[in-house]
Amino acid sequence: MKILLSPAKTLDFQTKVPTLRSSKPIFVTQANEINQVLQSKTPKKLMELMDISDKLADLNWKRIQEWEQTTDLRQAVYAFKGEVYVGLDAYYISELHWDYMQNSVRILSGQYGVLQPFDLIKPYRLEMGSDLKIGKSKNLYQYWDANITQAIQTELALDEWVVNLASQEYFKVIKSQLLQNKIITPIFKDYKNGDYKVISFFAKKARGLMTRFAIDHHVEKVDQLKTFSGDGYAFDDKLSSETEWVFTR
């Protein structure tokens, strides 16, 4: 089983990590190429491209300019900081589960394409939906084309499932038709104003919680995810379909 996650906009490169274990991203060459394109952007252009404040634009401009020289590296699973990663709580995952996590979790990235949890990354901010032109590619979806999908496909056994816990923005880079394996997308809904609705803040954390559940229990059969009950969510068979599994609370 492969679990797909989105990265986070905010980063944590200060907290002490629990291990020196690391791996190398498979698309380092592409990440460097993307950064070379970004180096020509002024802080103002970065602010427009990334829809960020001038303060964040200055910070990321500096990161981009110092990309080749920086020695500030951190494993991806400890670098990202956001609601998904609050739910995952990677700093407190036991060493007994690290191999499973490294083998099963893949983080989609605008800069790096796809990451294993222990892949070392540099500080960056670049969302997959950014309209960054690189060569003949009008945006990052065109730039990555089928490369990310093919990289994931090569890791999958014939009967292995893909669990999409990434946001729509990031999952769009996956060319589902090229994956010979079945894909299921868990959806988390809260009861509000007489109906079940996806509330982004809670849904993001739930994605991290489900990932942590899979890691802690070394889930191999996808049906085991139906027993997930983090934060009070429960599988709702009536609202679910074959490819979209709805969890409600």
Average pLDDT over residues 117-133: 97
CA distances for 173 relative to 149, 182, 189, 190, 208, angstroms: 8, 17, 24, 27, 20
pLDDT tens profile 32-65: 999 999 999 999 999 999 999 999 999 999 999 9
Tokens of 243: 């490819």
pLDDT tens profile 79-116: 999 999 999 999 999 999 999 999 999 999 999 999 99
Mean pLDDT (the chain, rounded): 97
Distance CA 123, CA 70 (A): 9
pTM over 0.85: yes
* Residue-number span of the structural domain to which 241 is assigned: 2-248
Average pLDDT over residues 198-211: 98
Residue 158 scores a pLDDT above 90:
no
Q: How many folded domains does the chain comprise?
A: 1
H or E element that contains 195: strand 195-197
- 101, 117 contact by CB (below 8 A): yes
pLDDT tens profile 180-200: 779 999 999 999 999 999 999
- pLDDT value of position 179: 86
